[in-house]
Amino acid sequence: MKFIIQHSMFTLGLLIFSYGIALAVTVQHLGIHPWDVLSIALFDLFGLSIGTWAVIVGMVLVGISLILDKKYINYGTFLNGILVGPLVDLFLWLDWFPASSTYAVQVIILLFAIVVMGFGGGMYAAAKIGVGPRDGFMLSISDKVGWSISRVRIIVESSVLVLAFVLGGPVFIFTFIYTFIQSPIFQQSYHFHTRQLDRLLDVGGHKFT
């Protein structure tokens, strides 16, 4: 039962998170997350698809993390790295997005996408199956160099942003404030779903295993 509950939460969280990324891509000219800017830049330069590049970048980061510190990498990390990209491509193909006819609506759509990504990310992380490739990479670096996670995140994502910009990726004002909006939502979602998971696993005072 524990397996079913955890993996259901993990899967639903990944679906929500991936939809948020795809939704943000539809208004990418306003600016999107640095990692997604990099995927779009690589797509524009070399083809394939945005989702495929997300998978490739994710697997490269998993490989580096395995060298630096294996403790943050498990099967959930691989599932995250392999599934998010194709799910983003699927949602872009399905085109289940609201119309963005005006600039004001586009801003609302992007803000909603950031909220969706934060909510979905917190949900799949709370399932305790594994962090994503990018989070695992930054946690590994943090442990290796002894810097705070927030400092590592700022340095890594700033470096990614510079690289993506040089490669021609779409960078605008929302790219710079992504983390400040998404991180608090992720944190609240993570705590909320952690409590919900504990409650579901402790129905009637009997802890599911």
Given this model, what pLDDT does residue 81 score? 83
Least-confidence region, from 157-161, 162-166, 174-178: 174-178
Please state, rounded to an integer, the average pLDDT across all residues of the chain. 85
Question: 16 CB contacts (<8 Å, ≥6 apart)?
Answer: 116, 119, 120, 123
Handedness of CA 62, 67, 68, 73 (dihedral sign): positive
Given this model, what pLDDT does residue 206 score? 52
Q: At what angle do helices 2-25 and 103-126 cross, to 10 degrees?
A: 160
Residue range 69-87: mean pLDDT, rounded: 83
Give pLDDT tens digits for 132-157: 888 778 778 877 888 876 677 778 88
pLDDT exceeds 80 at position 72: no
- Compute φ and ψ for 207, nearest 5 degrees: -75, 120
Give pLDDT tens digits for 172-196: 878 877 767 877 888 788 889 989 9
pLDDT exceeds 50 at position 42: yes
Residue range 105-123: mean pLDDT, rounded: 91
Residue pair 208/5 in contact by the 8 Å Cβ criterion: yes
Query: 20 falls in which pLDDT band (50, 70, 90)?
Result: very high
pLDDT exceeds 50 at position 165: yes
Residue pair 80/14 in contact by the 8 Å Cβ criterion: yes
Residue range 80-96: mean pLDDT, rounded: 89
Report how far residue 106's alpha carbon sits from residue 116's, in angstroms, rounded to the nearest whole number: 15
DSSP 37-81: HHHHHHHHHH-S-HHHHHHHHHHHHHHHHHHH-GGG--HHHHHHH
- For the chain, give every domain's residue range: 2-193
Question: 178 CB contacts (<8 Å, ≥6 apart)?
Answer: 31, 32, 33, 34, 114
Residue pair 59/133 in contact by the 8 Å Cβ criterion: yes
Percent of the chain scored above 90 by pLDDT? 23
Taking the complete model, does pTM exceed 0.85, yes or no? no
pLDDT exceeds 50 at position 101: yes
Residue pair 143/121 in contact by the 8 Å Cβ criterion: no
DSSP 89-128: HHHHHHT------SHHHHHHHHHHHHHHHHHHHHHHHHTT
